[in-house]
Amino acid sequence: MGTFSTMSGSEMEIMRVIWSRGAPVTVGDLLEAFAHRGWKAQTMSTFLSRLVEKGILHSRRQGRGNLYVPAVSEAEYRRLAARQVVEQLYDGSLSAFLSALSGGQGLERREVEELRAWFEEVCGHD
């Protein structure tokens, strides 16, 4: 994916619809899904062009329009976005991030157990 770029709120909304469809979409499909927003075709095309430029979407010509498919899964995007937050705001320190996330108040027992289970799964230790 090259250099990672985060999405705006509207871009994320659009991608959630695209990810949920599991099939290529057109501008028309998305205008229908976002009819409540009242966006015009040009507005949607601008969002989609930005997502293609960011490497989050692929587009291919079909007839007079384009078909759009995700270049990354939602899970991969979330992983990259989370890693970017840790790198940029916490100098790559996961422990500093977790400390900030807990607000310096410590973690609840449930949260500790969830983290312990996750570490055991990821690291393969008992």
CB-CB contact of 71 with 56 (8 Å)? yes
State the pTM of this model: 0.78
Give pLDDT tens digits for 31-84.
Answer: 999 999 999 999 999 999 999 999 999 999 999 999 999 999 999 999 999 999
The whole-angstrom separation of Cα 61 and Cα 75 is: 27
- H-helix or E-strand containing 47? helix 41-53
